[in-house]
Amino acid sequence: MVEEKPLTQQFDEELKETLNELLDINEDSEVPGDSIDKLRAMDQRTRSILQKYRAAMREMEVRFEIIDQDLSLKKHRNPIHHVESRLKAPASIFEKLGRYGKEPTLENMEKYVMDIAGLRIICSYISDVYNLLELLKKQDDLEIIKIKDYIANPKPNGYRSLHVLVKVPVYFLDKKEYVPVEVQIRTIAMDFWASLEHDLKYKSVSVVEGIDSYDELKDCSRIIEDVEARMQILARALEVDGEEEEAARA
């Protein structure tokens, strides 16, 4: 069994490789001293910048953990099935800047790429998705920058999820800084669909056993939406029953 490298180690190796490419450095080349100094300075500054994104990502993870624990204590249920986190790879960051028509600089990275740090919150029901959004809005030290509701307005391919761009305060030794984190909140079914869509897109599979995968995915998305609505009705019935039992015991 091959042991996986820690996320931070993988990220650091990708960072070094990307910086080498940007400075046109390889193992066989004669590297001028000023280029080495430039690489070291850029590497150090990039590590410093990315550290705050790691911290912001962890800060948001803890906030959701607290919300889930508090709801478990007071409402006797855990709406969050699980949480996933990721830091965008350096190559992906600079590629995105290229698509925006921006130079691949650290300044532009911070200014234009808002999803360097990302969280995916997986819930059981659609109501949980919107309830979590409302709870985030109540946190007065959190800045909600943008909301994209792909549940109410799915993408043309059928993608559904709630995207929330926030800025969370991160405290360092000498300052406080608001750092952006993209939070995607979706149901288990939405996440299952998105994972399949990603795999088909990544492998460039357009036809599966004679079926157009694009049209089939759109149909699956509609079916999932209908099933989720029906499941929500059953879940609500359970909640009402639980509330009545609590009232009877009071």
pLDDT score for 9:
52
Give helix 33-75 / helix 126-137 axis angle, nearest 10°.
Answer: 110
Query: What is the C-alpha R_g of the chain?
Result: 22
pLDDT digits (tens), the chain, 250 positions: 444 444 445 555 555 565 555 555 455 555 455 666 666 667 778 788 889 999 999 999 999 999 999 999 998 889 999 999 999 988 888 899 999 999 988 899 999 999 999 999 999 999 999 999 999 999 999 999 999 999 999 999 999 999 999 999 999 999 999 999 999 999 999 999 999 888 887 666 665 666 777 888 899 999 999 999 999 998 888 776 555 566 556 5
90 HSE (CA, 13 A, CB side): 25
Task: Give the E-state strand segments of 18-142 in sequence order.
Answer: 80-87, 117-123
Active-site residue flag, 197: no
CA torsion through residues 61, 65, 71, 74, sign: negative
pLDDT score for 56:
97
Give the C-alpha separation, 15 to 92, whole Å.
Answer: 10
What domains appear along the chain, each with residue ranges and CATH number? 7-249 (3.30.460.10)
Residue indicated by tokens 């993209």: 182
Phi, psi (rounded to 5 degrees) for 117: -105, 135
Contact present, 57 and 119 (Cβ < 8 Å):
yes
Per annotation, catalytic residue among 182, 197, 239, 246: 182
**Side chain identity, residue 178:** Y
Give the C-alpha separation, 52 to 208, whole Å.
Answer: 43
pLDDT score for 1:
40
